[in-house]
Chain A
Amino acid sequence: GDSVTQMEGPVTLSEEAFLTINCTYTATGYPSLFWYVQYPGEGLQLLLKATKADDKGSNKGFEATYRKETTSFHLEKGSVQVSDSAVYFCALSDQAGTALIFGKGTTLSVSS
């Protein structure tokens, strides 16, 4: 079945450092790909998405490019802030209306 694999955390960075969180997927079709962020004690918030190959999703300085050839959707940010500390989830959906399948999450901790 479909699945998502994320790099294990925690990822610990200093403020203004470059961030990469790796995500690869397995899917039979052409899924839509997502990054969600979860702050402590809260639900998940959509960070960005991409619906087809070579699409780049971006939001709040975060970016991820849908790479079909490597089945990847790595999350990047050029300069992290303390406020970016959270858990980040990569997810896929086979098609509109199907439930999201999530990775296990990667905890990011940014210190000043």
Chain B
Amino acid sequence: EAEVAQSPRYKITEKSQAVAFWCDPISGHATLYWYRQILGQGPELLVQFQDESVVDDSQLPKDRFSAERLKGVDSTLKIQPAELGDSAMYLCASSSIVNAEAFFGQGTRLTVV
């Protein structure tokens, strides 16, 4: 069964350091999402890609966060510099053009110390 792959699963980083997360969506899925989930809350959208183009990054803190999907396949989310408040689960999801449902990866648990 096709899955969304994310790495790493866990990341501990010091405040002010740079950190990056990688996501490989289900093959053929044109839409890719990055969500942030704070403990005890629902996921909140950070950025949405359609192929290699950003569709929605209105909630992305652009002073420290960046995201790219250069060839319209896999994607990288970067934080620089990391802050204590960035500790959260970062979830990647993908969907096809036809269906609204999104398929999620296992997430990257980030802890900033």
Residues of chain A at the chain B interface (Cβ within 8 Å): 4, 32, 34, 36, 41-46, 49, 51, 89, 91, 93, 95-105
Give every chain A residue within 8 A of B109 (Cβ-Cβ): 41
Q: What's the Cα separation between A36 and B91 when bound, in Å? A: 14
Which of B40, B42, B56, B101 gathers the greatest number of chain A CB atoms within 10 Å? B42
Given contacts A41-B109, A44-B91, contact A100 B102 (CB under 8 A): yes
Q: Is the CB of A89 within 8 A of B42?
A: yes
B97, B103, B106: the one contacting A97 at CB < 8 Å is B97
- The reply to whether A102 and B100 contact each other, CB–CB distance below 8 Å, is no
Are A102 and B42 in contact (CB-based, < 8 A)? yes
**B87 interfacial by beta-carbon distance below 8 Å:** no
Contacts of A89 in B (CB 8 A): 42-43
Q: Which residues of B contact A100 (CB under 8 A)?
A: 33, 43, 45, 93, 100, 102
Residue B75, interface by CB 8 Å: no
Question: Which B residues form the contact surface with A (CB < 8 A)?
Answer: 4, 6, 31, 33, 40-45, 48, 50, 56, 91, 93, 95, 97-107, 109
- Inter-chain residue pair count (beta carbon < 8 A): 66
Q: Kindly report which residue of chain B lies nearest to residue A91, judged by CB atoms.
A: B42
- C-alpha gap A44/B91 in the complex (Å): 9
Residues of A within 8 A of B98 (CB): 96
Contact of B104 among A44, A51, A96 (CB under 8 A): A44
Q: Say whether B106 contacts A43, CB under 8 Å.
A: yes
How many whole Å from A102's CB to the nearest CB in chain B?
3
Determine the chain A residues whose CB is within 8 A of the CB of B43 once the complex forms. Answer: 44, 89, 100, 102
Q: B99's contact among A91, A96, A99, A105, by CB below 8 Å, is which? A: A96
Q: Chain B residues with Cβ under 8 A from A45's Cβ?
A: 104
Contact B33 A97 (CB under 8 A): no
- Are B101 and A46 within 8 A (Cβ)? yes
Most chain A Cβ neighbours within 10 Å, of B56, B97, B100: B100
B97 contact set on A, CB distance < 8 A: 96-97
In the complex, what residue of chain B is closest to A104 when comparing beta carbons?
B42
- What are 6 contact pairs spanning A and B, CB under 8 A? A43-B104, A43-B106, A46-B101, A46-B103, A99-B56, A104-B42
